[in-house]
Amino acid sequence: MRRGAPRTLDDIKHPGPIASQRRPSFPCHAEPVALSLSDGGGLLEKLGQWIEASGYQSAVLDLGGVELNAFDYVMPDRAIDDRHAAWYSDKQASKGSTLIEAVAILGLRDGKWFAHIHAYWLENGNVHLGHLLPDSVSLARKADLTGYGLTGAGFEAEYDLETEFTLFRIKPSQTIVAPSTPPNALITTLAPFEDLHDSICDLASTIGANTFKVVGLGSLAGAEFTSSPTMTGLISEILLQSGSGREPNQGQRIQIRCIDLDGNLHQGVAQPGGCPTLVTCELLLISTD
């Protein structure tokens, strides 16, 4: 039995103590990467082999255009107990598709490589947005991926006391970063109710980035857009679209796709102060100055 959906932000109650750090972040070096993966075999295994060979601490990859065999996924849903603020839907099955947009964050979980993937795709004439279960994902064709390999800091899964979910957290490197790879980026995870747009703006200033790109995914408790209808559902999952960030002589634009717990899809440019985090947002900001 699932709980009723929250109607206001005050209805959203996370079970644990409120974390003192609401926007934990750490500077890192983000190196552009391009990799080719053969078809067949599990995607997670291939990505693990690639990152082990490359020596990065984590990676944030663009899976747009990748053609997948049948895979499993979940969507946002109401809590299944009286503690969590939200949960996932029952497992859904895709017969396979080419991803239109997708973000994968590669980090460690229980000492093994794990990928947090949010994707948007077309299947049987219908568009979908969901959280892909990485162990079920395999390539139908050879794939060429791009993204960023991270040194100096990375993502590692830990149990989060506030939300009682296992989430990616920020882990500084335990080794000295070579002088040839100075920080040009930062990674962050936003705590519940931290605004996506405002957090990105504030964090960019901490690395002195007048212009930057931002890549990531997460969940929002509703969303207001500058020129699109509001997402009123307060349980959602999102991915940031290509082009998010700040370009020369332009304001900040955070372009997102969302799906709410009723399966409604939303898209738009985040309104400042209008996009509170539900559980977490995992982000990479890269200076382009």
Q: Report, as an integer, the average pLDDT of 213-235.
A: 97
What pLDDT is attached to residue 180?
A: 63
Residue pLDDT, tens place only, 8-40: 999 999 999 999 999 999 999 999 999 999 998
- CA 35, 149, 94, 237 dihedral sign is negative
> What is the structure's pLDDT at 202?
95
Looking at residue 120, the DSSP 8-state letter turns out to be E
Q: Does domain 9-15+23-287 have CATH number 3.30.1330.80?
A: yes
Q: Distance between CA 117 and CA 217 in Å, rounded? A: 8
Per residue in 241-275, pLDDT (tens digit) is 999 999 998 889 999 999 999 999 999 999 999 99
State the pLDDT confidence band at 206, using cuts at 50, 70 and 90: confident
Query: Distances from the Cα of 78 to the Cαs of 46, 232, 258, in angstroms?
Result: 33, 15, 16
Eight-state DSSP code of residue 273 = T
Q: Which amino acid would we find at residue 93?
A: A
Output the average pLDDT for the chain. Answer: 96
What pTM was estimated for this model as a whole?
0.96
- Give the residue extent of every domain in the chain: 9-15+23-287
**What does the pLDDT average to over 276-286?**
98
Q: Which residues pair with 67 in a beta bridge?
A: 98
Task: Compute and round to an integer the Cα radius of gyration of the chain.
Answer: 18
What CA–CA distance (Å, rounded) separates 252 from 260?
A: 24
Q: How confident is the model at residue 176, as a pLDDT?
A: 61
SS3 11: helix
CA-wise closest residue to 171 among 21, 18, 19, 26: 26
pLDDT of residue 181: 72
102 token code pair: 């997708």
